[in-house]
Structure 1
Amino acid sequence: MCKNVPMVPMKKSVDSAIQKSCKPAMLGRMWQASRRALNLEHSPAHQFACSQWQSSPHPSTAYLIYRWVLFLSVMSIGVASFACQRLPRSYDGPKIELNYMKWFIYFTNWGYLLIALQSGLALAVVHRYRAQKSDSLNLRFAACEEDEIPIPLGRRARTPLLCRAYWLAHNIATDLAFVITLVYWALIHDPKIHEVNTLNILVHGGNSLVMLLELAVTSHPVRAAHALHSAGAGLAYGVFSAFYWAVGGTDRVGLPAIYPALDWNKPASAFGFVSLCAVVLVFAHAVATCAAAVRTRLAGRLRARPSAERLALPTH
């Protein structure tokens, strides 16, 4: 006779095995979703070369003119900002020789360089797609109209490097422009030192107006997860300012801090200021994301209205 064998709790062992196998799968799916959210892949790629307010997938002549005007305007203001540097009128310290290369240590000018970079890259993207035949773009547009089509990235054609570089520069330039305008006029600007002239207003207010215009005109999306790119850029400037202070760098009048609020002689307050800017950059990106979503929805409704009117039956 067979001895009685104790029953194994099969249900519990199966459940524990399922839980152990599900955890890696769930973590893998979360990792893949995070990678998709943070990457710079988007289809159709021709949206980086077109305006939201045109119906054709081929870059329009009006949009090309807009890109040239914006690029030349941004470059002109940037050159003027670099060439017209001078000490504040209220400066009464020892006589110093103005170092023009210190233009590059200021966060405002980092942001403005990114605006110039993204406008130049946008112009290059438009010229690239203008050189392609309209028929090929129409076929791609018909085959893949939205980024929501569930095609694995391994099978989908990758977004061109030029478009990805433009998208990254556009995202960071937009968020930095909003934060620079807010922080400068709220915390940095001192009427006794800083003059309120045309050039000052253009680089500390016109920068945000330019990027708001870009958000209203362009057709590519703004992803919420890309806020990490902008926060990383803000933290990178914080690291640069700390390194610049550590090697004995000074501002244009010889003070050890580039900005009064970013004085690394007081590391706690300086680190707090950098952290605050990183958080504000995330909120600025949220504003940009909402603005792009409103633009897309409004353009969709305006396009749907004429087609609905054409399909409506006559009432007489």
Structure 2
Amino acid sequence: MEDDSKEVREMREEDDRNTKCMNWCFTEFDSDSIGLDYDRPSDFVTSQWPIRQKVYIIYRVLAGVFLLVWASGDMAYETIEFYQGQLWRWFVFASNWGFLLLALTSVYQAVTSVLYEYKTYWIMDPIYIRATPLVLKIQWMLFNISSNAALVVTTAYWAFIAFVSNAPLLTSDMSRLKHTANTIYVLADILIGATPIRIYHMFFTVFAGSLYVVFNALYFINNGSLILKTDDSTKGHRGYYFMNWSQPVEAICTAVLGMMLCMVSQLCLHGLYHLRTYFHRRCFPEGSGTDSELQNIIASSPSYNTLRESYGEKVVPDKLR
């Protein structure tokens, strides 16, 4: 009897694993997963863990200010140290694109988190609380691109550039720190926040990477400039040496490898997202009550009474009363 019950348990566990795997496939590879609709928009502005929203806001604000100051300082430092005062050359490198986007995304997240706490109706639909507003769709897209780009930049740097290039710009201590700390922040941020990560959203980063490839090719073809006329002294500064468009096969292969790395990075981020939710379920099996939290915030918001006075009781659905 014991052997039979053990066999039954094993069969049930295997069935559960198969069911979970099938559900994951149906969810992740469904056509709806390509878009930016999500039924718990509050996840974009709250933590996965049961911490006070004000604590999360402090984290978001500090991260946003720190990254923005760092990006600005890096821009000024490299312009003076390596670009002979020509600020526009800072934007030639993909790592700088990713670093700046990461900083701006962090600031964006800080703003939406503050609004969610104090002016909920500015970013949340008071009637359709499960509808993702445009402001959070934009945040989700920026978050995916900046997080994925950070992993791509760090991986490419430490797997290839750091050991092959002798250029002071790419081998300085500041450069090493910039190409490492960005991914450390992204990994920590994914574990702290509640933002979901979908596999199909890798195509946002692939599209952004394609824009950079076009920019890089045009920049190279125009002798190190797009809209500015430069003297001969800038012709040797056309960005990455392995994106040499006078040898198009090498440049195209590099671009394709970069796109493939974007896909691998998205899988890693998606896996980390599932690891976070797994530990959350293990630590808090009853759930965090995200929907209840959203309803409480909406009901206690100063804007709540204003809407009721202006439009009457019908504006607020029964489940929010």
TM-score above 0.5, yes or no: yes
- 1:170 pairs with 2:143: yes
CA distance in 1, matches of 2:113, 2:263: 29
Residues matched between the structures, number: 249
Identify unmatched segments of 5+ residues in structure 1.
1-29, 89-95, 141-154, 308-316
CA distance in 2, matches of 1:257, 1:103: 11
Residue of structure 2 in register with 1:248 after alignment: 223
Shift of 1:227: 1.0
Say if 2:213 and 2:255, in contact at 8 Å, map to a contact too.
yes
Residue of structure 2 in register with 1:161 after alignment: 134
Identify unmatched segments of 5+ residues in structure 2.
1-25, 289-321
CA distance in 1, matches of 2:157, 2:55: 34
Structure 1 residues 197, 255: CA separation in 2 closer, same or farther (over 3 Å shift)? Answer: closer
* Structure with greater proportional helix content: 2
Residue of structure 2 in register with 1:272 after alignment: 253
What SS class does the counterpart of residue 242 from structure 2 fall into? Answer: helix
Describe how 1:91-102 pairs up with structure 2 within 5 A. Answer: 97-102=84-89
Residue of structure 2 in register with 1:120 after alignment: 107
How far does the alpha carbon of each residue in 1:289-310 deviate from its partner, in whole angstroms, 9 at most, with x for none?
Answer: 0000110111111012899xxx
Larger Rg: 1
What SS class does the counterpart of residue 284 from structure 2 fall into? Answer: helix
Say if 2:281 and 2:287, in contact at 8 Å, map to a contact too.
no
Describe how 1:137-156 pairs up with structure 2 within 5 A. Answer: none
Structure 1 residues 60, 306: CA separation in 2 closer, same or farther (over 3 Å shift)? Answer: closer
CA distance in 1, matches of 2:118, 2:129: 23
Pick the aligned partner of 1:285 from 249, 260, 266.
266
Say if 1:216 and 1:292, in contact at 8 Å, map to a contact too.
yes
How far does the alpha carbon of each residue in 1:135-160 deviate from its partner, in whole angstroms, 9 at most, with x for none?
Answer: xx9x99xxxxxxxxxxxxxx985311
CA distance in 2, matches of 1:306, 1:67: 23
* Percent of pairs with identical residues: 23
Say if 1:245 and 1:256, in contact at 8 Å, map to a contact too.
no
Residue of structure 2 in register with 1:151 after alignment: none
- 1:78 pairs with 2:52: no
Say if 2:224 and 2:234, in contact at 8 Å, map to a contact too.
no
Describe how 1:218-257 pairs up with structure 2 within 5 A. Answer: 218-249=193-224, 254-255=235-236, 257=238
Say if 2:92 and 2:238, in contact at 8 Å, map to a contact too.
no
Question: TM-score of the superposition, structure 1-length normalised?
Answer: 0.71
Q: CA RMSD in A?
A: 2.9
Q: Partner amino acid for 2:89?
A: K
Structure 1 residues 244, 77: CA separation in 2 closer, same or farther (over 3 Å shift)? Answer: same
Residue of structure 2 in register with 1:193 after alignment: 167
Shift of 1:185: 2.4
